Copies of this chain bind each other. A is one copy, B any other.
Amino acid sequence: MAEDYLHRIRNKALRERVVTAEKAAELIRDGMVLGMSGFTRAGEAKAVPLALAERARRAPLKVTLMTGASLGNDLDKQLAEAHVTARRIPFMSDPSLRRAINAGEVMYIDQHLSETVEQLRTCQLPPVDIAIIEAAAITESGGIIPTTSVGNSASFALLAEKVIVEINLNQSEQLEGLHDIYIPTYRPSRTPIPVVTPESRVGFPFIPVPPERIAAIVVSTKLDSAANVSDPDEGTQAIAGHLTEFLKNEVAHSRLPTHLHPLQAGIGTIANAVLHGFIDSPFHDLTMYSEVLQDSTFDLMDAGKMIFASGSSITLSAPKYRQVMERFQDYKPKLVLRPQEISNHPEVVRRLGLICINTALEFDIYGNVNSTHVMGSNMMNGIGGSGDFARNAFLSVFVTKSIAKNGRISSVVPMVSHVDHTEHDVDILVTEQGLADLRGLAPRERARVIMANCVAPDWRDGLEDYFTRALVRGGHTPHLLEEALSWHDRLRRTGTMKPE
């Protein structure tokens, strides 16, 4: 390595601020609020948080940790297990941290991903003391060039008292020019966000931080963690098939053009598989306006189906990552990474008219969706961007397999045990069984369409029985409140939702 990194710090005065990760971590004191880069396990600062966890094992301290979204490299695990994380905002997906959150040891504030920096900017969240941002390089003017994610990095860096930059030598210098850093102007004199297509570039290719605010620079080399998506299986392929057929029908009825509208897809196996399914569809010249760009985005580009993708991060499997980085100059003109405030902004989502595909944990017969809480109590990951997108979508689609845990759980229930997306924000539900188009339907009509199309055969009678008996009691949205959550309670007591 030697001094090979110096050319990445183009502002020569800043070269003096290079220190070890341990030294930089000493800037962090007990009770501080940290704003860290990292979104869907991409582009997180890696060396300083690990040094911090290491130090906390010797000398305990606690911090509030804000990020873009989830972190890779087991950082949330390390920090949770070292008891550094007292408070975590706004998303996470690590099993150790999840355990601590559900045990009440860590206070977790699960937020719409577009909203965190809005609340920071208006002092409705505690101010960020130190921002820790992974960078590919620092410009002459001190501008920070992010790596594989933007997330909340720009606002963290601009709002924090001090900034620590991690120059990652294994993140390609070719990433420069990928990012579009735009920060909305302050209210009440805010002007419209000028993004009008997925391709719009409206900001800087770097985070414009005054160099004097950069308190330390650390050199790091750890790669992003690889995405852990599973290959499409029979179930996810069936879901993709149902959605493709539905969209073909929308095109046939002139409700959509053959290039559809810009696509958004949540992170994870099912959404990735659904997008992958578009490779064999008749749609073409597709675009994406999403938060995370996964393998499927690049597969669609390789297949000549997708012409442009806007996101806040790039999260790939190991083989796809190698392939994309080898030909990055070919992909780069078709890509832009934005702050998550912009990738997820209600204003832009509604303006562009997105087709939004997100994953449900469970949904109920009236179309309410739970995407966060197992059994109404235990946090899984967080709502992430799904609310930003579903609420403002042209078409809001939620997908899930109809059963879980080898058939002991039905993903379609009488009443969801926690609501993240209300009936008002859900247009289409898809399981491997089929698709329910809820547009323009009243709750009683939705129930019939959902039960006819989305439920595994084993569970249909039980739901129909519940609905029929609820109808006798009446109401716009008929429920038997003494029984509405009994499927979940039975699961808790017996290990299955099936009647005893």
Residues of A within 8 A of B (CB): 87, 89, 101-104, 107-112, 118-119, 122-126, 187-194, 196-197, 253-255, 261-262, 345-347, 350-353, 368, 373, 375-379, 383, 387, 391-392, 394, 415, 417-420, 422-424, 427, 439-442, 444-445, 470-471, 473-479, 481-482, 484-486, 488-489, 492
In the complex the two chains form, is B440's CB within 8 Å of A124's CB? yes
In the complex the two chains form, is A188's CB within 8 Å of B347's CB? no
> A475 with B102: in contact, given A346-B347, A484-B485 (CB under 8 Å)?
yes
A484 CB to nearest chain B CB (Å): 6
Residues of B within 8 A of A189 (CB): 196
In the complex the two chains form, is B481's CB within 8 Å of A101's CB? no
Residues of B within 8 A of A377 (CB): 470, 473-479, 481
A139 CB to nearest chain B CB (Å): 30
Residues of B within 8 A of A415 (CB): 376
In the complex the two chains form, is B476's CB within 8 Å of A101's CB? yes
CB-contact partner of A192 in B104, B108, B193, B417, under 8 A? B193
In the complex the two chains form, is A442's CB within 8 Å of B477's CB? no
Q: What secondary structure prevails in chain A residues at the interface with B?
A: loop
A113 CB to nearest chain B CB (Å): 11
Give the nearest-CB partner of A377 in chain B: B475
A415 to B122 Cα, complex, angstroms: 31
A398 CB to nearest chain B CB (Å): 15
Residues of B within 8 A of A376 (CB): 415, 475, 477, 479, 481, 484
Give the nearest-CB partner of A87 in chain B: B442
In the complex the two chains form, is A346's CB within 8 Å of B392's CB? yes
A100 to B345 Cα, complex, angstroms: 39
In the complex the two chains form, is B471's CB within 8 Å of A104's CB? yes
In the complex the two chains form, is B424's CB within 8 Å of A383's CB? yes
Give the nearest-CB partner of A484 in chain B: B485
> A474 with B350: in contact, given A188-B261, A192-B192, A481-B376 (CB under 8 Å)?
no
